[in-house]
Amino acid sequence: MVADTEYAFCCSGCLNVCQAIHDAGLDDFYARVQQREAELTPPPDMPADMDQYDLHEVQQDMVLQHANGRREALLLVEGIHCAACIWLIEKGLKALPGIEFAEVNLARQRLRVVWKAGQVQLSAIVQRLAALGYAALPYNQEAAEGQQKRQNRSLLFRMGFAAFGAMNIMWISIALYAGAFSSISAEYRNFFHWVSFAIATPVLVYSGGPFLSSAWRGLMRLRLSMDLPIAIGASVTFAYSLWQTINHGEHVYFDTVVTFLFVILLGRYLEALARRNASSASLRLMELQPRMATLLTVDGEQRVAIRKLVAGDRVLVRAGDKLPADGEVMEGESHLDESMLTGESMPVHKKTGDAVAAGTVNLDAPLVVVVRQVGGGTMLARIIHLVEAAQGSKARVQRLADRIVPWFVAATLGLAALTFVYWLRQDVDTALLAAAAVLIITCPCALGLATPMAIAVSSGVGARAGVLVRNGEALERLSEIDHVVFDKTGTLTEGRMRVIECASVFGDMGSDEVLQLAAAIERHFPHPLSRAITDEAERRKLEFLPATALQSVPGMGVRGDVQGKSLCLGNARLLVENGISLTADQLRVRQRIEADMGICVWLAVDGQLSGFIHLQDKLRDGAAEVVAILHREGIGVSLLTGDSEQAAACVQQKLGDMQVVAGVLPEEKAQAVMQLREQGKKVLMVGDGVNDAPALAVADVSIAMGSGADVSLESADVVLMSSDIDKVLYALMLGRQTLKTVRQNLGLSLAYNLLLVPLAMAALVTPVFAAIAMPVSSLLVIGNAVLIRRRCRYVAPVSCSAGQKRSQHKKDA
């Protein structure tokens, strides 16, 4: 190969250099590199067996099934590298019947698509992408890693080949430059020009091939891609140099073509590495999933791949191992590290009957776990999907940028043409180089990366802190919030109710009997009050009676039949609705309980009041400080609760000044939020995601609080994986910092163009300098986005301005 050839470079022996290059067999070297490239990076052709993607068995691991026949999938798409690619793919797919949503993640080169299964198949979507010039396949971790390696390898081969050409052609340029001062003969000068042509041609075809093919595909579909200016600049400069060579002209620019192709490829390689590092949150989450599990069978232990696990299997998780699937502890007791899922550094105690999540680490002792969810159904998989969706989503400002990109490319071509015409009056060489510099330097890559990189980094930072943001638009709206509405139970309070007292109204029932009847119904419902009553019944080891005709009455309580008796269990409004009134003594009991933030749950049997249960909750740690910080930041605070006015007033007294609306049903909570919005407020609703769905849906931004394993990821714009109230402040800070970074990035990209485009039009910038400046602008934008990690460290608690800190860092974001 070429490495076997000895070179003796010297300025006085340029003819020997050229002969050495010729003897090295440049065409043979190029052919071998192409062959090697073909072996390692096959061209993005359509898979021959695309019909398999339509099989239900295949889609189980790669497609999410939604209601009404809707399907959702993540696709790996090769060849995405600019905002114009995003625009082309999204426009092209949305033209297909049955496509409801298509959004490209530039940072991860992935496409999230939602379609109606009855109108279009997944294979047709992949075929459509192939027709647009992009190879796609359903996402999985192995395929993603393989694609990344292939793309990096391809870039390295093309960049290395361009570097080889640049090093050699520079010696020719030195000889020509030296000859210009020593009156080199026309014969030798023309010979050097032909040697430069021999070096530049394979570099343009091979290293510049992706730019040329992308530009050609775009033109065939009447689309202006960002590769078009680069392709025109390289091709026109090459063609002019060839024309000069054929006509024995004095000046050629083959070295310029080769050098700026090398610089652009180097910039894209560095840019790809920076994007991968900036949006690595989902990769870290994927690494939590172990590859193997210890399955317990009748024959003993067996090591199997986690793909072979099914619901009902028993697995052994030793100390130090990661849990392979979601499940329930069957035997053993230990502590689990759930920090990567919830953002909490404190280990969580787990015992028999407790739920556990895939990816968490067993710290102390062996556990036997019964598998409940595997694969895409696990909490970890849903979190990864949420992070991926958020990183690929678009804020409103990004949609505006995407609409600008095609016009930006058209403006670039217009400015280059204007520059060429203006300088043509002086000479062709100046006009050509100035126009080429304009074409290269105005590439809007930095503009296309400004918003998606900020959203990708922010989503990853939030995920590591246990704050899951569903989309970029939610991050943008968080920065505008000026009023926060809190639900009480499970939000401002811990939601971990404790039964303090069970009593019969008339003394005809024992405490255990009242609790047993209540638990028979409540154990079927997920509300915190229901869990507290059920837990107390289990603690007292009471038998659970069968219940039928179960019914939930939102904001009031529950109904059901137990042993032939009709039971009502809830607040005073439920009693009134069933024609039951409270006596003066019973009202005094309720007032006594609610005066200390307690809740009184009444039990009626066959239309007669029979007993009550006193449940007690307490405010979350730091709740008062969170309210105080919101007030200092100029943000209004409201409390919505279905409890009585007396209970709400007790909360208000402990938390400080806030608007209180008590005794409201879920629908009335939504009306209260809408009233605030009609007043011009930007409202954030914070609830537990259980009975606050109407209010969460109508707020500008909604946050659902949970505890990792039981939280509904679909209930709000932002999901807190733990129940720390201070993470509401962190989410607000993250939104503000994201929007600030987006504006900074847009400012950087616009400043870059406003500064350098006039210089290029004035012929003060060479194409090579333009090739250096173009990737540098993109790297500046990426680097500024990465700084979000440093600017948004999770602190307990965090102020919205990120400037007030009460304690040491709990977890580095």
Distance CA 495, CA 14 (A): 83
Tell me the two tokens of residue 387.
């992070």
- Listed in sequence order, the residues at least 6 apart from 716 whose beta carbon sits closer than 8 Å to its beta carbon are 470, 687, 689, 696, 702, 703, 704
Q: Are 221 and 134 in contact (CB under 8 A)?
A: no
The band of 30, judged by pLDDT with boundaries at 50, 70 and 90, is very low
Residue range 128-178, pLDDT digits in tens: 888 887 878 776 655 666 666 777 788 889 999 999 998 998 888 887 777
pLDDT in tens, 246-295: 988 877 889 888 987 888 888 778 767 766 665 555 556 666 678 889 99
Mean pLDDT of the chain: 79
pLDDT band at 26 (very low <50, low <70, confident <90, very high): very low
Sequence-separated (6 or more) residues with CB below 8 Å from residue 509? 610, 611
Q: How confident is the model over 447-451, as a mean pLDDT?
A: 74
Instruction: Please give the Cα distance from 424 to 428 (Å, whole number).
Output: 5
On the CB side of 443, CA atoms within 13 Å amount to 31
Contact 329, 350 (CB under 8 A): yes
Buried b (16+ CB within 10 A) or exposed e, 683-719: bbbbbbbbbbbbbbebbbbbbbbbbbbebebebbbbb
When comparing pLDDT for 115 and 812, which is higher?
A: 115
Q: What is the pLDDT of residues 466-479, one digit of tens each?
A: 888 877 788 888 98
Dihedral sign from CA coordinates of 557, 558, 562, 566: positive
- Strand, helix or coil for residue 119: coil
In the block, which residue shows the tokens 């009306």? 671
User: In this predicted model, what pLDDT tens digit does every residue of 368-398 receive, in sequence order?
Assistant: 999 998 877 787 777 777 666 665 556 666 6
Is the pLDDT at 555 greater than 60? The verdict is: yes
Which of the residue ranges 27-31, 447-451, 470-474, 754-758 would you say has the lowest mean pLDDT? 27-31
772 versus 754: the higher-pLDDT residue is 754
Neighbours of 100 (CB within 10 A): 15
Q: Give 811: exposed, middle or buried? Use CB within 10 Å, 0-12, 13-18, 19+.
A: middle
Residues labelled catalytic: 487
Tell me which of 454 and 516 has the higher pLDDT. 516
